[in-house]
Structure 1
Amino acid sequence: MKKIFLILGIFLIVFIVWLSIPFNILVIGVDAYANQPTEGSRSDGLIVIRVVPYLAQVKMISIPRDTYAEIPCENYKQDKITHSHHFGGVQCTIDAVENLLDTKINYHVRFRFEDVMNITTLIGGVDVVSNHTFNQDYFDQEVFHFNQGQVYNLQGRMALAYTRHRKSDTAFKRDERQRQVIQGIAKKLVAPSGWKYVPQVYNYSKQHMDIAVNPIKALSVLPAFLMHQSNINQYEITGDGKMINGIWYFMPDEASLEQAREEFKN
């Protein structure tokens, strides 16, 4: 009997240690429409989420789609990082992000931006404070207006419009909007009042999205989202634009890139 308890105790300790190990999730939003295959599309949004379970902490950073980076599946030629998904799908995108941030991506989630529209509808929307004042149309069918500082319940077409706009401000602001909505979805689902939506979102995600995340490991993200906002830290890669052979690229500032590597190293 003592031997059994000893084995169970060792197993429990190993499990707790494993559950406490930090990990990185790459969230890939592609520009394919609902009736199009994801393969061959571009990664319109790239967000790395680092979960530090023993600190109940989450870090999030967006990688601008036009970042000038090496593309591993194209013999490490330098190009916009958004093209990594076009050339080599999820694996090439993971490799490009790992190479850029000098880290390890443990899991990934890939979705179309229409999936954000559908999921926000399923959960009754997410409340977000607009970070900019702008108008954004939905494929010339409907125009949505947002005022900076005002709270909006985003769902459906309105959520898609908010996350995709980038014409009147910057790519950084659009990246922030994407993080706001993703964070809002996660916080709503982990709150007790949002548990009723979990089966619907799970079924939808299983049918329409590419999710490669260990479900047990994913549970370690819950404390950070249930605790105060200060446990969710957001970072940016800063830099400048540059024209190379007539094409505009985002050139990351080396100091900013080094800080990102330090924060998201795995």
Structure 2
Amino acid sequence: MKKIILFITLAILAGLAGFIAWLSVPFNILIIGSDAYANQPTKGSRSDGLILVRVVPLTAQIKMVSIPRDSYAEIPCENYKMDKITHSHAFGGTPCTVEAVEKLLDVKVDYHILFRFENVMDITTMIDGVDVVANHTFNQDYFDQEVFHFNKGQVYNLKGRQALAYTRHRKSDTAFKRDERQRQVIQGIVQKLSAPSGWKYIPKVLDYTKKNMEIEVNPIKALSAAPAILLHHPIEQHELQGDGRMINGVYYYILNDNSLNDIIYDFQN
């Protein structure tokens, strides 16, 4: 009997050790922002925003890198032809976009989240807004309707149409600044929900995301990101550098090799 109990105890401990080891393995989540409008299918839409998130549980670290939508990259589902990475979703949906990012950054995308314009408006409204410091002074309309003004350095509680306007703008500054705005809002949502005062919103947000967004994330694995969030560790923000260039009359963003290699290294380690 003692041997049986010992065997069971060792088996439980081994299983627990294996589970902890699995939780400790870093993982990548690709966040895809579709340009599909309300009530439109995401099929055939472009990826208006691409953010790769790396979670490193052992160091309670989260990294984010935005991939410029016009990045000149191989599109796997189109026989690896070179094109804007934003077109990967139009050609082959989420699987093609995931493959294109994996090929570009030489990483494995473990999970993904796909959202569209109205999801940004709905979620930020649902949680009573997110506080963001504007990174640029600009005006942005809501599809030729309401116009929103932002002053650089001023704090705004963004929700609904104003949140969407902030994340969509890219005419008066750069794609980098726009990508930064998208990361600011995503980070704001995460921080709002992780704070004790924001826990009350979680059931409603979870229910909404299940019904309105395409999410493929292991919920147990996602818990390993909790220490980084709850300890309020700053999220590392990364950018892919490059230069705009016309090729056969079409504008593309050509990524700098050194910048690309730095991101590849950072997101593999």
TM-score normalised by the chain length of structure 2: 0.97
Alignment of 1:96-175 (within 5 A): 96-175=100-179
How far 1:73 sits from its partner (Å)? 0.3
2:61–2:233 contact (8 Å) kept in structure 1: no
* Aligned pair partner of 2:248 in 220, 245, 248: 245
Alignment of 1:20-169 (within 5 A): 20-169=24-173
Q: 2:224 corresponds to which residue? A: 220
**In the alignment, is residue 259 of structure 1 matched against residue 266 of structure 2?**
no
- Is the radius of gyration larger for structure 1 or structure 2? 2
Q: Measure, in 1, the Cα distance between the counterparts of 2:94 and 2:144.
A: 31
Q: Measure, in 2, the Cα distance between the counterparts of 1:162 and 1:221.
A: 27
In structure 2, relative to structure 1, the CA distance for the partners of 1:9 and 1:229 (3 Å cut) is closer
TM-score normalised by the chain length of structure 1: 0.98
After superposition, give the CA deviation of every residue in 1:32-59 in whole Å (9 maximum; x if it has no partner). 0111100000000000000000000000
1:101–1:265 contact (8 Å) kept in structure 2: no
1:64–1:175 contact (8 Å) kept in structure 2: yes
Q: Measure, in 1, the Cα distance between the counterparts of 2:229 and 2:268.
A: 21
* 2:245 match: secondary structure: strand
How far 1:149 sits from its partner (Å)? 0.6
Q: Which amino acid aligns with 2:257?
A: E
After superposition, give the CA deviation of every residue in 1:182-231 in whole Å (9 maximum; x if it has no partner). 0110111111111110111001000000000000001111211222443x
**What is the CA RMSD across the aligned residues, in angstroms?**
0.9
Q: 2:238 corresponds to which residue? A: 235
Q: Measure, in 2, the Cα distance between the counterparts of 1:248 and 1:168.
A: 17
In structure 2, relative to structure 1, the CA distance for the partners of 1:29 and 1:248 (3 Å cut) is same
After superposition, give the CA deviation of every residue in 1:79-115 in whole Å (9 maximum; x if it has no partner). 0000000000000000000000011000000000210
1:45–1:65 contact (8 Å) kept in structure 2: yes
Unaligned runs of 5+ residues in structure 2 are: none
* 1:64 match: secondary structure: coil
After superposition, give the CA deviation of every residue in 1:146-185 in whole Å (9 maximum; x if it has no partner). 1111110000000000000000000000000000000110
Q: Measure, in 2, the Cα distance between the counterparts of 1:191 and 1:216.
A: 19
Q: 2:204 corresponds to which residue? A: 200
